[in-house]
Amino acid sequence: MTTFREFHCDDLLRFANINLDMFTETYNFGFYFMYMAKWPEYITLAESPAGRPMGYIWGKAEGEGESWHGHVTAVTVASEYRRIGLAQQLMGILEAVSENTHDGYFVDLFVRQSNNSAISMYKKLGYSIYRTVLQYYSGDEDAYDMRKALPRDVEKKSIIPLPHPVKASDETD
């Protein structure tokens, strides 16, 4: 049985098996520590019965007014634990925090345009492509900004797609 728990500092030394993936963005310790200090409720680790990290999600709350939302900074599952629903469960946890703790209007995330399996999963979870962000990733790969409206956005304004792409350097909520 999988356990979902708060991510701890020492987990940073144990999650290499999860990050060994060409689609997973990795960050420096300062970045991770900042998130743990500011948004601990948005960081969840999935752990096996033996205590092995299986996957995680990192996120935050950001924006103002009707742009107040939860943001998925990273969600990834170790290759040996994929296709058993962990990413969907982790996304559900982050969505619940965004809705119930932060009263957000939507949840958003950025995904590489080449990551078809992730895009397909996000669509199944109710996310839609809001806009394309040009040259978002290193190597000049474009990203999709995908969004899912939360109950607070009754009119679903947050997910009305933009008609044109934006540059990463101009990226704003």
Whether pTM exceeds 0.85: yes
More confident residue, 2 or 171: 2
Q: What pLDDT sits at residue 26?
A: 79
Helices (H), the chain: 16-19, 29-38, 86-96, 116-124
Q: What pLDDT sits at residue 22?
A: 67
Answer whether residue 149 shows pLDDT above 60: yes
| Across 53-57, 82-86, 130-134, 167-171, least confident range | 167-171
**Digit-coded pLDDT (tens) for 74-124:** 999 999 999 999 999 999 999 999 999 999 999 999 999 999 999 999 999
pLDDT band at 171; cut points 50, 70, 90:
low
